[in-house]
Structure 1
């Protein structure tokens, strides 16, 4: 699909259909039931425009590269863009997407959870509409642990006790040198009330909370409770490792639940979920969100129709449909109260609890650079020297903010 899209002349899809109806090209990652939502929005448009689904590659890096190349070339065939939450500031800072203003912005802000809304904001202005979100949960085996640990220290201690009893004990999560390791560290920093960047996103801070998070990550990696594959593990290998029966705990996204029901039903009977463990017993965890935001290209020939189309694509009814049929948690809080959500998301109350006080990744147009240097410096976690690593990260992140050093 990527090769086909790149080969198309940049203006080939822009403009109007033969019947004069504006075409709104919607560039978005592959979503199984997205066409159903698009069909409903086209019906609601009553012939004033037609949304056409332009499916991006499956890999996030490939999605970003394709959109960056097209937008840098001022491609006017792009209208509505499905952006990873970490790209909104980059695209806004480059003037590639339009600000949401007036009634459009008011409608997006109404009822949207604060964490997703923060991810769609750049310099106090709204540049995207949060379409879906996600948070990791603690998954634990009730046949090994009757009550879930509330803190990382409790979880590590329980895992060590299970190990001493020759029972399955591992705490399975993502520790490879990639974005998942950055997400893990960012969650620990937020839980320690720390900061990586200043509030304006222009200065690396790496404060005492960030150092405390490094200390905890090092302690976890060296406590003898991780999987042997921890430093190579990404989301799906971690899921499979837990499903094999080795783990007592897993920190991962909610998609692991339906996968476990299908692939390991006997194990699934003993698996429950809880809020992500806290860094400090006096402070609830703050978990890093994922998800996608809908933006309107600065080069769209049909901005008014594009904003309307984006509002329809992410409205409450369609977020509920996507949550139930495609497994992507909503960003509109009221959707979680819908009766249909209970069966699809038995863990919805815990998800919503985390989302009400979620953490976002460092908000900066340079986030891709920041993520690259962070994942390299944090890997492997067992080699972290908290004070020295914090100083290294502070310098490398500041260089990334100033477009020095490594590029994505």
Structure 2
């Protein structure tokens, strides 16, 4: 929903996807791959890895380690644009022309259904990967119609960042678990001299993919769903209204500052680090950045992370992340499978975590005492991922996310009531075909 991490790794969950139904559009794909059919993986030699630009600097060193061990099967890193939509479009063009230029693809977690349904990627041998050692919700993002089409590389879950120093001084001994508690805690903290001029809470409320994520989290955290497992919309429910009412009401009563309707991930992070916010919803990439002792953060040692709050208890994050998949038109697929195993291994994810705040996929890494000491947010992040909810499972995801953004933003900025916005959104989403 990048979405970050890959938002600082460049957008984990922030990618928009247009999952076009084959029967509806017939574009570049042929018919759907049968659930029981796998490709044959033959051929060894040089391959490529196609992904967005890597500002974290972790991808090339990983490829270099592979190339040193496999001089006759070298991998070339093809860096696509930073923008997820542009990445996806280039991968689709490559697939539609049946080019072998891209071998292994880095896919946003919500792209699996589209790429698998169009046969742009091969079904993978599930028994050839250590999936049982990974967190189940993450593994599910790589599946389509019972088959494995993408191998998890990184995940992502939203967390509530909060000022430990201010809560403690206000007599609050633990972070809020509900929206009501969060607002009550804010009121207490804002009475402190140190909190003068601070705002209570912010997330990502600009009209982009982050708004879809925050809306979905509000609905899920109120006990509702945007769409069910088959893509059928349910935003006309009382739970969805409670979720949207929380966002709209919080903006009206000042819990959310007015300028937060312009916030993406980095805007909220900078505001929190500058001491302008008591609470902030963001991804794990923010934790090490807010902990830097180079003068860029005013809150070093004064904050922590907790699960997102909800209506009556802890809320539910949207599930982000990136997976790797094998292009159906690629050559040297035996090499590609081995590289995918290497690239996504627990050892490489441990090394990646040391350089960039990507959420690992292996459960053991969240329990490692040394890693938890170095990255104290890991247990909370694991909890966030285990309770996370995928973004809507629909073919025309680009149209769906645009509709969510449009109606949510209209409600938050006052041009529509929450009732009208949800009514209009339900109609829009009912026009979209489901993913299964």
Q: What TM-score do the two structures reach when normalised by structure 2?
A: 0.81
Q: 1:390 aligns with which of 409, 414, 422?
A: 422
In the TM superposition, residue 164 of structure 1 has moved relative to its aligned partner by: 5.8
Are 2:97 and 1:73 aligned? yes
Gaps of 5+ in 2: 1-42, 169-173
| CA–CA separation in structure 1 for the residues paired with 2:155 and 2:396 | 21
Is residue 49 of structure 1 aligned with residue 73 of structure 2?
Answer: yes
Write out aligned runs for 1:248-267 (5 A): 248-262=278-292, 263-267=295-299
Contact 1:115 1:355 in 2 (8 A): yes
Which residue is 2:199 aligned to?
A: 169
1:97 aligns with 2:121: yes
Q: Deviations over 1:91-126 (max 9, x none)?
A: 12222111123533xx24221112212221222322
Change over 3 Å in CA distance of 1:190–1:48 after alignment to 2: farther
Change (3 A) 1:123 1:388: farther
1:149 is aligned to 2:176: yes
Provide closer, same or farther for how the CA distance between residues 128 and 347 of structure 1 changes in structure 2, counting only shifts above 3 A: same
Distance 2:374 2:240 in 1: 36
Q: Residue 156 of structure 1 contacts residue 223 of structure 1 at CA under 8 Å; is this kept in 2?
A: no
Q: Which residue of structure 2 lines up, in the alignment, with residue 328 of structure 1?
A: 358
Q: 1:138 is matched with which residue: 160, 175, 191?
A: 160
| Aligned counterparts, 1:98-247, within 5 A | 98-104=122-128, 107-146=129-168, 147-163=174-190, 167=196, 168-201=198-231, 203-206=232-235, 207-247=237-277
CA distance in 2: counterparts of 1:340 and 1:115, whole angstroms:
25
Distance of 1:177 and 1:161 partners within structure 2? 31
Alpha-carbon distance between aligned partners in 2 of 1:393 and 1:200, rounded to the nearest angstrom: 17
Post-superposition Cα deviations, 1:216-236, rounded to whole Å, max 9, x if no partner, equal: 222222221212311111010
* Structure 1 gaps, min length 5: 1-19, 404-408
Quote the offset at 1:21 in angstroms: 5.9
Aligned-residue offset at 1:238: 1.0
Q: Corresponding residue for 1:26?
A: 49
Determine the C-alpha separation between the residues in 1 that align with 2:108 and 2:190.
39
d(CA) in 1 for partners of 2:183, 2:425? 26
Question: What value does the CA root-mean-square deviation take over the aligned residues?
Answer: 2.3
Cα separation, 1, equivalents of 2:256 and 2:419? 23
SS in 2 for 1:268: coil
1:165-192 Cα offsets, whole Å, 9 max, x none, are 6732321221100111111111122222
Quote how far apart the aligned CAs of 1:325 are: 1.1
CA contact (8 A) 2:251 2:257 kept: no
Q: CA deviation at 1:321?
A: 1.0
Partner of 1:370: 400
Is the 8 Å Cα contact of residues 316 and 332 (structure 1) preserved in structure 2? yes
Among candidates 74, 82, 107, match of residue 83 of structure 1: 107
Q: Which whole-Å CA distance do the structure 2 matches of 1:152 and 1:247 have between them?
A: 16
CA positional deviation for 1:402: 7.8
Determine helix, strand or coil for the equivalent of 1:28.
strand
Task: Give 1:86 deviation, angstroms.
Answer: 1.9
Q: Determine the C-alpha separation between the residues in 2 that align with 1:330 and 1:102.
A: 19
- Deviation, structure 1 residue 89: 1.7
1:11 corresponds in structure 2 to none
Give the deviation of 1:336 after TM superposition.
Answer: 2.0
> Structure 1 residue 59: deviation in Å?
2.0
**Which deviates further from its counterpart, 135-144 or 331-340?**
331-340
Shift of 1:27: 0.4
